[in-house]
Amino acid sequence: MDDSDDDYVEFSPGGGDDDDLDFNDNDGISKRTRNRDPSGSTNKKGSPRKGKAVADSKLKGTSGGYAWEDEYHRSWDVVQEDEGGSLAGAVAGLVEESKKKRIVRDTKPLQRGIIRNLILILDFSSAMLEKDLRPNRYKLMINYAIEFVGEFFDQNPISQLGIVAMKDGLAMLVSELDGNPTEHIHKLELCRKQEPTGVPSLQNALEMARGLLYHVPAHCTKEVLLIFGALLSSDPGDIHKTITSLVDDKIRAKVIGLAAQVAVCKELSTRTNYGHSENNYGVVLNEPHFKDLLMETTTPLAVSKMGASVRANMLVEMGFPSRISESEPTLCACHSMLTQGGYLCPRCKSKICSLPTICPCCSLTLILSTHLARSYHHLFPLQSFIEVDATKRAIASHCFSCQLELPHITSLTSPTHRFACVKCNNQFCIDCDVFCHETLHNCPGCESMAHKPKQRPVPLLPRPVQKLKLNFNSASSSASSTPAPEDGISV
Amino acid sequence: MNAVDDTHASLGGSERTGSDEHPTLLGIVLDTNPTAWAELENKLSLKEAVESLLIFINAHLSLNNANRVAVIAAHTTGAKFLYPKPPSSSFENGSQSGHTSLKAMSGTTGTANIFDRQTMYRQFREVDEAVVGELDRLVSSATEKSVRSTQSAVSGALSLALTYINRVNSNEDEVKTHARILLVSVSGDLSSQYIPTMNCIFAAQKKRIPIDVCKLAGDTVFLQQASDSTNGTYMKLDHPRGLVQYLLSAFLVDPAILPHVNLSTQRDVDFRAACFVTKTVVDIGCVCSVCLCIMSKVPADGSCPMCGTVYDPQALQKINRKPMVIVKKKPKKKKAKLDSTPVGTPSPIP
């Protein structure tokens, strides 16, 4: 049998040497391109064939065949009419299903890289003129990128962001690594007028990102988010060397593909994330999916055990400036402009317009304590609510927090539409559940209970605090019982 | 065609006038901490405060027919809805609750019956009866044990108010309801609820819900931050007895015309942070890069007091480093020249 044709090859377990089991992960992708592997077209039994067979098995869908051999699911068959011929019940069920999907999350407290440095690489190549995403890929990307910048700084107030564009085979700097969202949004607005042209160069863009992230201290994360619309990359050198240097620099890359999966992007996302490519490479299905993939990135990445080092644990000196109001305008240290009011650096007393920033005079990191507080919910996420079993005796008639009357339970098998907090056992409706987990990050039930008076610790003596345990994101996930975050941190 | 356009314009016009008068949902959080109210007794009793608050609520309801209100009590035993009436109590003795509150109100104070069933505007009566009735139930259910806890569940009450506002806003997509929260606060220390309260503030900020704070007693730094970051009004009352005046003049103002009203809100906000270990307020502190806890000085054992992370000793050294004065050496021209030539260019590192 000639293997040069990319046909289905049956995987025979006893066919080859067992030594070849530790084949490289990216073999699978390169095999998809014909005749890339010089030994791939041989008739020999053994390692190349076996690697190919395994690679083929990766392409297969859940039913065992290739994705394109799967039975075609017609979406209108899924929806069932009720007795009255109405679709209202089915539609409501679908809506609830989608909400449920949003609330099922991993809520293990993980150690996350809170102080982030992210380079957003945008594709400005001619492939972005495609209209498969409305109005076209380019305009949609700019719109979503602007939303992303706002959301990113909302979730990560003490982080920094830079934007790089790939155009005409070159990497263009759109905006420098900076902590001010308005600056980035302004630069992106200016990009709207540009026309995407030429071919993208992944290597140039990644090298520029590497350069921008070069000075970042070890306790911060270095990340690259690549939005890639083209299916090719025109590089001046060896991109694999660039990927290796990204790995050496501990830069983590996430790729969002707009057209199809590209082998080099897969390699990039796999190798820079310690061999895990899940969640780090996504190809968009439609516009909402694009947005979902983009907004996922606003949550800080969990620190992997492999990436953790003692150097990463640092004590950072930060200043908490107070706001002043002035009757006369004075010059600010950051823009040298006359402004009224601002913040005073506690160390050198120079006036700064906006926070968070690094003092231009004495280079002290200046933040508000609210910025720190905003990141706490990433570290101590709210535990998921569990759907109440219909057989349970105490079924609430109303949602605990919004007083909404919940539907009566007709049978013991039907869903109860009630979600209970594990700690306080109060029952909530699905809207409150989604709101609590996505926006509020509090359980109204737990917070509505009496707050026990706390003994004030004697200053400067070690007090018996329950130490917070932040686990690493490891495969072994030996998560012990998670302590309540409120017990550990109080101001 | 013109006719079509005309109707369109008139429709648009009517819509605009409608949008000018958006109904407002007002969430009121009343801090009912018994100890704090007892301290405030000479200046303003809880009963007087509730009376003022009811006048304020009625004024709010009469501004627009579609205006709504939700009242939540932040008690030491927990947060509880006063209005709309929690379902459990309305099931037990729905019709009676108004009656008992009536008795309680008139019985304890000896004043005339404030709820005239025949002549009172129905919407006013419903709210007033519910608030007084539920409050009465809450206070009478207090036990010795519950009074001992000193902190009111402000974060819980804010959470309830936010979820309620979220539900009302998500239900009525056609009629856009503005929402805001008024927090009538009397107790000072809320330190153990720092993170949940902050979460509430951020949620309100995201949903563009202003949090107005009416501070009768005590001082809490992060309630100032709450009103500052949500564009609300923070007011510390110098004369609590004039509560009704303050409420009606400062807190009844519609958010739409708020920019045109010059209110005496706090401009200088204290944004300094408190050290997690020593509880002192600091302006320059050290922050753990793992759990973001704030310390006023470098911990002696080189590990984080909160998460136990061991720090890089080099980084600690860098922070502990004292400023040094470099002593200027007298320039020796000839020698320096000689010295510099052989050592000047460093050998390239392989």
Domains assigned to chain B = 22-260 (3.40.50.410), 272-320 (no CATH)
- Indicate yes or no: CB of B267 within 8 angstroms of CB of A325: yes
Question: Which one of A115, A448, A490 would you mutate to disrupt binding with B, by most B Cβ within 10 Å of its Cβ?
Answer: A448
Does residue B295 register a pLDDT over 50?
yes
Dump pLDDT digits (tens) for A245-263.
999 998 999 999 999 999 9
CB of B94 within 8 Å of a chain A CB? The answer is: no
* This prediction's pTM: 0.73
A411 shares contact with chain B (CB less than 8 Å) = no
Contact B167 A404 (CB under 8 A): yes
The mean-pLDDT minimum among A310-324, A412-426, B12-26, B207-221 falls in B12-26
Contact A448 B156 (CB under 8 A): yes
Assess B273–A contact: CB distance below 8 Å, yes or no. Answer: yes
d(CA A188, CA A179): 15
Q: Say if residue A190's pLDDT is above 90.
A: yes
Nearest CA of chain A to the CA of B315: how many Å? 6
Is the CB of A331 inside 8 Å of chain B's CB atoms? no
pLDDT digits (tens, 9 = 90+) for A449-460: 766 544 333 333
Domain ranges of chain A: 1-70, 111-304, 318-378, 386-450
Q: Which of A313, A319, A485 sits opposite B290 (nearest CB)?
A: A313
pLDDT score of A219: 81
Q: Do A444 and B160 touch (CB under 8 A)?
A: yes
ipTM rounded to 2 decimals: 0.76
Q: Is the pLDDT of residue A437 over 60?
A: yes
Task: Name every chain B residue with its beta carbon within 8 A of the beta carbon of A157.
Answer: none
- A140-159, pLDDT tens digit by residue? 999 999 999 999 998 888 88
The confidence band for A173, taking pLDDT boundaries of 50, 70 and 90, is: very high
Predicted confidence (pLDDT) per residue in A324-374, tens digit:
888 888 998 888 889 888 888 888 989 988 888 888 888 888 888 788 888
Name the residue with higher pLDDT: B289 or B21.
Answer: B289
More confident site: A81 or B27: B27
> Which CATH fold would you assign to the domain A386-450?
Herpes Virus-1 (3.30.40)
Q: Which of A14-23, A89-98, A307-316 has the lowest mean pLDDT?
A: A14-23
The reported pLDDT for the residue numbered B106 is 40
Enumerate the residues of chain A whose CB falls inside 8 A of the CB of residue B319.
Answer: 315, 317
Predicted confidence (pLDDT) at residue B38 exceeds the cutoff of 80: yes
Q: Does A154 touch chain B (CB under 8 A)?
A: yes
Q: Which of A78-92, A217-231, B193-207, B276-290 has the lowest mean pLDDT?
A: A78-92
Max avg pLDDT among A319-323, A355-359, A445-449, B197-201? B197-201
Average pLDDT over residues A132-141: 90
Restricting to B residues 276-305, those with a Cβ less than 8 Å away from any Cβ of A are 276-280, 282-295, 298, 304-305
Greatest mean pLDDT range, A300-304, A487-491, B243-247, B272-276: B243-247
Strand partners, B273: B282
Report, at the CATH architecture level, how domain A111-304 is classified.
Answer: 3-Layer(aba) Sandwich (3.40)
Residues forming beta bridges with residue B197, ordered by sequence position = none
* B87: nearest CB among A324, A403, A448: A403
Share of chain B above pLDDT 90, in %: 14
Set of chain B residues whose Cβ sits within 8 Å of the Cβ of A312: 289, 312
The pLDDT of residue B348 is: 56
Residue A48 has pLDDT above 60, yes or no: no
Which of B141, B275, B289 to mutate: most A Cβ within 10 Å?
B289
Task: Tell me the pLDDT tens digit for each residue of B250-294.
Answer: 888 877 777 787 776 666 677 777 777 777 778 888 888 877 888
> By the CB < 8 Å criterion, does A13 face chain B?
no
Asked if the Cβ–Cβ distance from B78 to A450 is below 8 Å, we say yes
The answer to whether A340 contacts chain B (CB < 8 Å) is no
